[in-house]
Structure 1
Amino acid sequence: MDLSLWLALATAALLISLTPGAGAVNTMSNALNVGFRRSIWGIMGQQAALVVHVIIVALGLGVLVSHSPILFNVIRYAGAAYLVFLGIRQFMSRPVEDATAQATLAGEPGWSMFRRGMWVNLLNPKAIVFFLAFLPQFIRPDQPLVAQYSVVAVTVVVIDITVMWFFFALAAKSVRNFTRSAKGQRILNRCFGVLFVLLGGGLAILH
């Protein structure tokens, strides 16, 4: 991949990552609950899903999803239901008032955050269809495909990690002191809960 094409890919990937979505909401929620540094676990889970999406498109399965309304809708509604579930759970979360309980909350296993982040991004068929339309713009059929898709995957992942961690998670870190009070926790839990539900509802009803 030549430099000009790669720069176009990097610019597009940056703009996509900066667009708020379920991944951004999940990242900010993790940063508030477990801290900026440990929120990387959820971000890495989201990247695992992005790699799967790239592989799906590279193997041609994205065409199958985009042309099969039943398969598309099954994945779409599963993803919507999962986001709504996360939203309700977040909305109903009780404030943690003592230091010991807060430490327990911050001790959520990394694998748990990784798995949640992966499912948030994975159960989004629109991402597959988007990559199906997006990736071919940066692939040259007359050049080695594996190498090109590898460059695309690494570029997208590195940029998304940077944006998620140093933009969205860092933004959440700036208001984390707000969560030290029960009232602050309740407000933020409800705000993020509503955001997750809205995202899930949007995924279910938008075409």
Structure 2
Amino acid sequence: MNEMTILAFAAVAFIGIATPGPTVLLALTNGSRYGVRRAGYGMIGAVLSDFVLIGAVALGLGALLAASEFWFSVVKWAGAAYLALLGFQLLRSRGTVDIAEGVPSEEGTGTPSSIFAKSFLVAVTNPKGYLFFSAFLPQFIEPALPQAPQYAVLALVFASIDFMVMFGYAMLGSQAMRFLKRSGAIWLDRVCGGALVALAGSLALYRRAAN
């Protein structure tokens, strides 16, 4: 694997990551609700999920989901249900901004472990991630070379880009809360909640490619 291959992978990965998905939306929401520092626990959870997904694909789990309708459906419905749950929680939100200070309120603040778990579980229960990596990663793997080190390099590159993008979204959410009143905070929660519910719906309708 040469530098040009890694750069090509990084460019394509950045485009895919920057397009708002569940973990990016959670980073935005966590940044607006809790600030960037506390949102970092969610970023760590999402990054850990990157390593889990890529490791699973390297071990053949992606191929299993592509071949088995049963296990694909199990992962799909678990992921859709969890996304919908998070989305409806945001839709019911009453806003999290301290109007006097214009900063995130500590009331109802999630614990570091819950913030971490939400981002981690959203990613590892999404079968699209496994199928995406199964189709995407082999294009950058040199078959004649040991594959484990190559997968490790790609995982590090992908996780690094993922963290930087999520950090940017968390910063955006945190800064937005300095200018929004409570009605604006509710609006942001509702938009992100609606997006997560829509993603849950698209995941529920998603079908694996026929073999």
Name the TM-score, length of structure 2 as normaliser.
0.90
Q: For 1:174, what is the secondary structure of its paired residue?
A: helix
Matches within 5 A, 1:28-177: 28-96=28-96, 102-106=105-109, 108-166=110-168, 168-177=169-178
In 1, Cα distance between equivalents of 2:2 and 2:60: 24
- Structure 1 position 27 matched with structure 2 position 27: yes
| Deviation of 1:29 (Å) | 0.7
- Between the two proteins, the alignment pairs up a number of residues equal to 204
Letter of the 1:84 counterpart:
A
Letter of the 2:59 counterpart:
L
| Deviation of 1:143 (Å) | 0.9
In 1, Cα distance between equivalents of 2:206 and 2:75: 14
Whether the 8 Å CA contact 2:96–2:186 is kept in 1: the answer is no
| Deviation of 1:110 (Å) | 1.5
% identity of equivalent residues? 36
Letter of the 1:47 counterpart:
V
Instruction: Identify the structure with the greater helix proportion.
Output: 1
Q: For 1:11, what is the secondary structure of its paired residue?
A: helix
In 2, Cα distance between equivalents of 1:174 and 1:95: 15
Whether the 8 Å CA contact 2:96–2:107 is kept in 1: the answer is no
Q: For 2:14, what is the secondary structure of its paired residue?
A: helix
Q: Structure 1's 142 and 96: CA in aligned 2 closer, same or farther, altered over 3 A?
A: closer
Provide structure 1 residue ranges, at least 5 long, that are not aligned to the other structure. Answer: none
Q: Which consecutive aligned stretches of 4+ in structure 1 deviate over 4 angstroms post-superposition?
A: 96-99
Whether the 8 Å CA contact 2:36–2:170 is kept in 1: the answer is yes
In 1, Cα distance between equivalents of 2:128 and 2:163: 20
Name the TM-score, length of structure 1 as normaliser.
0.91
In 2, Cα distance between equivalents of 1:174 and 1:135: 35
Whether the 8 Å CA contact 1:86–1:196 is kept in 2: the answer is yes
Q: For 1:140, what is the secondary structure of its paired residue?
A: coil
